[in-house]
Structure 1
Amino acid sequence: MSRRAAPYDCVDTGLQAKFSIPYLVAFTWLNGPPAVSDFDSLDPESKSLAHTITVATDPDLLESEAVITTKDGFRATVPVALGSPQRPMSDEQLSAKVHGLAGRRLDCSIPES
């Protein structure tokens, strides 16, 4: 994810949290992937953990790549983002994402997969 798309390291609102790599990493680590309602307010534990996360850009990585390295040396790499043309979502994953984002506002005439 581009730092231009997610410029916030410290957040004070749910809207800022949507665009904060440290907050999103912390929240996901503690709670799993966030739902839309998780941005109604900030999770104090996620906000606290986010302050321990440092984001650095690496010009040698593709923009679609992400590498997470912990202080104890553990390293995880995501070469291509889920949902990208190189790693498309399954129909079930896409349906779950649409329903998660649209919630009750989704037209009931759209069949679920």
Structure 2
Amino acid sequence: MTTVAISTRVELLTGRSWTPVCDWEQLTPGRGVAVLLPDGQQAAVFRDHQDEVYAVANRDPFTGAYVLSRGLVGSTPDGRVYVASPLLKQRFDLATGECLDDESVRIPVHAVRLNRG
């Protein structure tokens, strides 16, 4: 008898449907990956060290560069998980999109689910 491994897919809500963007196994805790969405937008998908998955816009609003997926993942003393932009180092809460260094700035957040297939 052959055992088939069922891959877990990470999916983002795009419009009214869920779009598969990568395999769970491709996400390294503490790092992000950039994904291209069907509408041409980019998202940054992250897996934290507690295996929670987040997705935000990949565009850094301070520079306009599509680099947030290359940022460093960390957490505040009160447990808010964030990504720090690799360019100017502003931190964005991965759950809310709020900039922790300038509360007037926010990035879009995408709904995420795991599909165990």
Shorter-chain TM-score tier: under 0.3
Q: TM-score, normalised by structure 1?
A: 0.25
Structure with the larger strand share: 2
Q: TM-score, normalised by structure 2?
A: 0.25
Larger radius of gyration: 1
Structure with the larger helix share: 1
> 1 or 2 for the larger relative contact order (CA 8 Å, sep ≥6)?
2
